[in-house]
Amino acid sequence: MTALGAVFRPQLPPERLRDVASAADDAGLDELWLWEDCFLEGGIATTAAALAWTRRLRVGIGILPVPLRNVALTSMEAAALDRMFPGRVTVAVGHGLQSWMEQVGARVESPLTLLREYLAATRALLRGERVSVDGRYVKLDDVALDWPPSAPPAVFSGGIGPRTLRLTGEAADGTIVVAGIPPERIREARRLVDEGRAEAGRSGPHPIVAYFHAATGPGASARIDAELERENHTSPKAEISVAGDAQAFAEAVQRLTEAGADSVIFQPTADEPDLEGFVRFIAEEVRPLVK
């Protein structure tokens, strides 16, 4: 079944998270996704709090920028979250916005090399392995987690460009596709991911999580127009966003799943006036309409 979720955008103050996470949990929303955007909110701290405040809600971190975080630290944090909240957290890593990485002195010459090394080391550590590696960027000397998860959790990665999407298929357990991507590009992303998996000899499921611009209620269409203009999107509005009622949202889910998405995560506008109402709307009104 297609998973439905929403984004708690870090443009909101962190003290708002408790009410939104609680509303999502009470309403039965499948997933709530958080971002580690510079210089707003840390992904691990907010995820741990959201998990502690809820009972069944699955929380995703999409994404942790790998230049910012030592691979051992990320693995320790992911293992601790998984052990405390089994089956309820999804950790995703990615390049991070290169201008932000430069601001903090963490930009690397080859983001693809770093991400490949990082994914391999993280997944090995979370499998409970003892890891020694002397890569271009990732260097570990006889490192093993003292408290690895009882079963290794999936490690997702974000991707936009063709080479990164092939890499997520090769080295990650799932892929996140950013909002603003029309269905035909999600279909292309699925093809590229599958190419990477085939080249690496991997089989089995590889979920694709698709963020999607969305608004409902009074002024929804105008808010979406303003959001797409701020982000300089050029694709037709109807292909990369939804503004309307539950039926319109359900139809958007169908288009995205037919293109290859396994999870559809609705991304509210930065000025969404009622995020608690937004997550309840997806869980209580959209979910029953999705096959």
For residues 210 and 188, what is the distance between their CA atoms, to the nearest angstrom?
13
Q: What is the CA radius of gyration of the chain?
A: 18
Q: How far, in Å, are 69, 199, 203 from residue 43 at the CA level? A: 11, 32, 30
CATH of the domain at 57: 3.20.20.30
Domain count, the chain: 1
Residues in a beta bridge with 5: 31, 265
Banded pLDDT at 188 (limits 50, 70, 90): very high
219 Cβ contact list (under 8 Å, min separation 6): none
Average pLDDT score, the chain: 97
* pLDDT on residue 61: 97
pLDDT of 291 over the 90 cut: no
Banded pLDDT at 48 (limits 50, 70, 90): very high
pLDDT of 75 over the 90 cut: yes
* pLDDT on residue 136: 98
* pLDDT on residue 94: 98
Residue 8 near residue 34 (C-beta atoms within 8 A): yes
DSSP letter at 208 equals E
pTM of the model: 0.96
Residues in a beta bridge with 156: 92, 174
**pLDDT above 70 coverage of the chain, percent:** 100
Residue 164 near residue 95 (C-beta atoms within 8 A): yes
In the chain, how long is the greatest CA-to-CA distance? 57
Write out the two tokens for 251. Answer: 């139809």
Residue 55 near residue 28 (C-beta atoms within 8 A): no
For the stretch 197-220, what's the b/e string if a residue is b when 16 or more beta carbons lie within 10 angstroms of its beta carbon?
Answer: beeeeeeeebbbbbbbbbbbeeeb
* pLDDT on residue 55: 98
* pLDDT on residue 1: 84
| Coil/strand/helix, residue 264 | strand
> What pLDDT, in 10s, does the model give residues 236-286?
999 999 999 999 999 999 999 999 999 999 999 999 999 999 999 999 999
Phi, psi of 33, deg, nearest 5: -110, 140
- State yes or no: cis peptide before 63, omega within 30 of 0: yes
pLDDT of 76 over the 90 cut: yes
- The one-letter amino acid code at 10 reads P
Residue 135: half-sphere exposure toward Cβ, Cα within 13 Å = 19
H-helix segments, the chain:
17-27, 43-53, 71-84, 98-103, 111-126, 162-171, 183-199, 220-230, 237-240, 246-259, 275-281
For residues 221 and 215, what is the distance between their CA atoms, to the nearest angstrom?
7
Write out the two tokens for 31. Answer: 């997933």
Domain hosting 75: range is 3-289
Residue 30 near residue 279 (C-beta atoms within 8 A): no
pLDDT (average), residues 229-235:
93
